[in-house]
């Protein structure tokens, strides 16, 4: 498979490291790995593993640049023959989504944050699959963004166990007791509460050393200055050291005695916790978001309430004074990481998901009405099934005709709504369109060919929409053909459209699949009219559209 990951930047960080790790695993398993970002220090690691990298300003939230990136990403998709575009952030997801619509490529997302419900965040729920690193984020996407449960896939982040080797803190010789926090410098990471906790225990642990690993972005420099001022006010300047942005995280972890994660808001996951667990560093985390899915309190770590420096201080002291507890915690944490959070497992689960997406093909056939026309679509359904044996084929019909094809063996799903009586752009019409969009159809075959069906196909956001380009919004079809004036029977008219897909209708027979209760009803009806089973019956429908002269 050819996989394109799109991420804003490739500076050091959990998301960015995950992109590089996955690219390495893809290449080692014989796949192509391509990444688009605006650059960063991790680009050289991508180059070293043989991944291809394109520098584009996909980090920008400027609407003009987002629009401009659609065409540029589409060029990369075509050039690299990409099978799946995997977007990992909101701004670049917008460009990636529409580039996929333009090229017919598969689009998936990973939600790396607890997003607010702003419209710009909505795109993260539009993937054919939406990967979430924690159950907390999955629930958030379902409840607050309306993402279907069927689309969500829970794949926690993974740690490279070869890089993060087990070197437990209780076995290391030491002259100091080092407590660290590893996170970018931003208020939600809780550095202030970490520092206040340190100030409460410096007299109880004279050899304590606190290290802050991570850097502030350009718009968070004032926050760093506030932390420096707070350190002076607390009188702990001689105990605290800023180490800045670092790439040697395995080495730094091996020098820690305790890692604190003091996040104050919903944390999507907490990658550094599993890295610490791999190395053998006991962890303290706040009871927010995905952190509680990694740490089991008093089993393999300690959990405290957010914004509570007193509780953090008590937890540090508990680990300082209880070496047996530390030993038990780190051994259990390492085992958990090996079983649930290894890079190998994350890569395997993600590649299996890619295969699932690539090998799935969803077709929607639209034939809204009327009764006779719905029955006449049967030969087309039979031909589609013969051509696409493993595809998931759905049929959209008006509610009043759903029973006719309820048991049709050529379709996997029958979608029925009250479409005929629903005005275009009404609330109910928009609901139908939204429901179709959530199905993520790869292909629309519009055999209805009226304004409603063309508009529904367009609003479904399917990348390939087949139908007749007529004066009924036919311009919304991106794979349409011009109708001919010569009269044709309905099945031949449908076949001409299916020819675009390389399909001929060989079997034109019509049939129905009545249930046992249907057969019983007919037998009772005939018996009531004193008609025998072998008696020939002829049914007449005395009206038909003038368009179909053959009728």
* Token pair for 450: 């009226």
What confidence tier does 544 reach under pLDDT thresholds 50, 70, 90? low
What tens digit of pLDDT does each residue of 226-274 get?
Answer: 999 999 999 999 999 999 988 889 999 999 999 999 999 888 888 899 9
pLDDT at 550 over 60: no
What tens digit of pLDDT does each residue of 379-414 get?
Answer: 999 999 999 999 999 999 999 999 889 889 999 999
Return the pLDDT at 548.
Answer: 58
- Rounded to two decimals, the pTM is 0.82
Return the pLDDT at 266.
Answer: 85
Return the pLDDT at 294.
Answer: 94
Return the pLDDT at 349.
Answer: 96
What confidence tier does 486 reach under pLDDT thresholds 50, 70, 90? confident
Return the pLDDT at 546.
Answer: 65
Q: At what angle do helices 343-359 and 14-28 cross, to 10 degrees?
A: 70
- Mean pLDDT along residues 303-309: 96
Return the pLDDT at 267.
Answer: 83
d(CA 209, CA 193): 16
Return the pLDDT at 537.
Answer: 83
Strands (E) in 409-526, as ranges, are 413-417, 443-446, 464-469, 479-482
Helix and strand element counts for the chain (H, E) = 19, 19
Domain ranges of the chain: 2-154, 169-341, 361-501
Least confident window among 59-63, 67-71, 418-422, 541-545: 541-545
Return the pLDDT at 528.
Answer: 86
Return the pLDDT at 245.
Answer: 87
What tens digit of pLDDT does each residue of 194-213 get?
Answer: 999 999 999 999 999 999 99
The bridge status of strand 362-366 relative to strand 392-398 is parallel
* Burial class of residue 137 in the structure, from the number of CB atoms within 10 Å of its CB (0-12 exposed, 13-18 middle, 19+ buried): buried
Beginning with the edge strand found earlier in the chain, give each strand of the sheet holding 152-154 in spatial order: 52-55, 32-37, 2-6, 84-87, 106-110, 130-132, 152-154
Least confident window among 74-88, 241-255, 520-534: 520-534
- Mean pLDDT along residues 155-179: 88
Assign domain 2-154 to its CATH architecture. 3-Layer(aba) Sandwich (3.40)
* Token pair for 296: 């089991």
Return the pLDDT at 494.
Answer: 94
Q: Are 15 and 88 in contact (CB under 8 A)?
A: yes
pLDDT at 112 over 80: yes
Return the pLDDT at 392.
Answer: 95
169-341 folds as Rossmann fold (3.40.50)
Q: Are 276 and 256 in contact (CB under 8 A)?
A: yes
CA 282 from centre of chain: 32
CATH topology of 169-341 equal to that of 361-501? yes
Instruction: Tell me which of 471 and 315 has the higher pLDDT.
Output: 315
d(CA 532, CA 522): 12
Superfamily per CATH, domain 361-501: Glycogen Phosphorylase B; (3.40.50.2000)
Identify which of 74-83, 160-169, 469-478, 480-489 has the greatest average pLDDT.
Answer: 74-83
* Token pair for 280: 């053998």
Least confident window among 68-72, 488-492, 509-513, 540-544: 540-544
User: H or E stretch including 495?
Assistant: helix 490-498
Least confident window among 323-337, 346-360, 475-489, 501-515: 475-489
d(CA 49, CA 539): 71
Instruction: Tell me which of 526 and 457 has the higher pLDDT.
Output: 457
As a whole number, the mean pLDDT across the chain is: 92
What confidence tier does 429 reach under pLDDT thresholds 50, 70, 90? very high
What confidence tier does 551 reach under pLDDT thresholds 50, 70, 90? low
Q: Are 83 and 353 in contact (CB under 8 A)?
A: no
Q: What share of the chain is helix, strand, coil (3-state, %, to 5)?
A: 45, 15, 40
β-strand partners of 468: 481
Instruction: Tell me which of 278 and 171 has the higher pLDDT.
Output: 278
Compute the radius of gyration of the chain from its Cα atoms.
30
d(CA 186, CA 180): 16
């Amino acid at each position: 498979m050819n996989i394109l990951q799109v991420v804003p930047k490739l500076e050091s960080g959990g998301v960015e490291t995950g992109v590089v790790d996955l690219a390495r695993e893809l290449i080692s398993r014989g796949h192509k790995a391509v990444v688009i970002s605006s650059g960063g220090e991790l680009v050289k690691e991508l180059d070293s593993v043989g991944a291809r990298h394109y520098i584009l300003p996909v980090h920008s939230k400027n609407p003009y640049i987002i629009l401009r990136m659609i065409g540029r990403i589409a060029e990369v998709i075509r050039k690299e023959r990409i099978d799946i575009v995997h977007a990992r952030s909101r701004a670049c997801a917008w460009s990636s989504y529409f580039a996929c619509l333009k090229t017919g490529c598969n689009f998936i997302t990973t939600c790396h944050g607890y997003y607010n419900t702003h419209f710009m965040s909505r795109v993260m729920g539009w993937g054919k699959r939406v990967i979430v690193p924690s159950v907390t984020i999955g629930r958030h996407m379902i409840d607050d963004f309306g993402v279907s449960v069927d689309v969500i896939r829970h794949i926690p982040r993974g740690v490279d166990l070869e890089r993060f080797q087990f070197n437990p803190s209780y076995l290391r010789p030491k002259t100091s007791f080092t407590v660290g926090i590893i996170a970018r410098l931003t208020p939600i990471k809780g550095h202030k509460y970490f520092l206040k906790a340190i100030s409460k225990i410096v007299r109880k642990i004279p050899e304590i050393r606190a290290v802050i690993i991570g850097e502030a972005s350009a718009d968070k420099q004032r926050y760093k200055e506030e932390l420096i001022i707070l350190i002076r006010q607390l009188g702990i300047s001689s105990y605290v050291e800023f180490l800045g942005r670092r790439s040697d995280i395995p080495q730094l972890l091996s020098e820690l005695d305790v890692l604190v994660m003091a996040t104050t808001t919903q944390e999507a996951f907490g990658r550094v916790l599993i890295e610490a667990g791999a190395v053998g560093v006991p962890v303290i985390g706040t009871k927010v978001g995905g952190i509680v899915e990694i740490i089991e309190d008093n089993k393999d770590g300690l959990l405290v309430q957010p914004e509570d420096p007193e509780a953090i201080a008590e937890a540090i002291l508990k680990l300082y004074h209880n070496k047996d507890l530390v030993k038990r915690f780190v051994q259990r944490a390492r085992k958990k990481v090996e079983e649930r959070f290894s890079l190998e497992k994350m890569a395997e689960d993600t590649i299996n998901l890619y295969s699932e997406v690539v090998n799935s093909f969803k077709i929607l056939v639209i034939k809204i009405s009327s009764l006779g026309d719905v029955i006449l679509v049967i030969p087309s359904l039979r031909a589609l099934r013969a051509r696409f044996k493993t595809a998931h084929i759905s049929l959209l019909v008006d509610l009043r005709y759903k029973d006719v094809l309820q048991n049709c063996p050529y379709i996997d799903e029958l979608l029925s709504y009250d479409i005929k009586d629903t005005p275009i752009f009404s609330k109910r019409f928009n609901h139908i369109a939204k429901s179709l969009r959530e199905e993520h159809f790869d292909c629309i075959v519009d055999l209805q060919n009226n304004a409603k069906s063309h508009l529904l196909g367009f609003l479904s956001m399917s990348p390939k929409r087949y139908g007749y380009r007529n004066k009924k919004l036919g311009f919304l079809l991106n794979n349409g053909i011009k109708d001919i004036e010569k009269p044709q029977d309905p099945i031949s008219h449908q076949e001409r459209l299916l020819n675009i897909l390389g399909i001929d209708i060989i079997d034109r027979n019509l049939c129905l699949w009545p249930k046992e209760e249907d057969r019983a009803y007919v037998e009772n009806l005939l018996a009531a009219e004193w008609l025998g089973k072998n008696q020939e019956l002829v049914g007449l429908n005395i009206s038909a559209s003038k368009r179909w002269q053959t009728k």
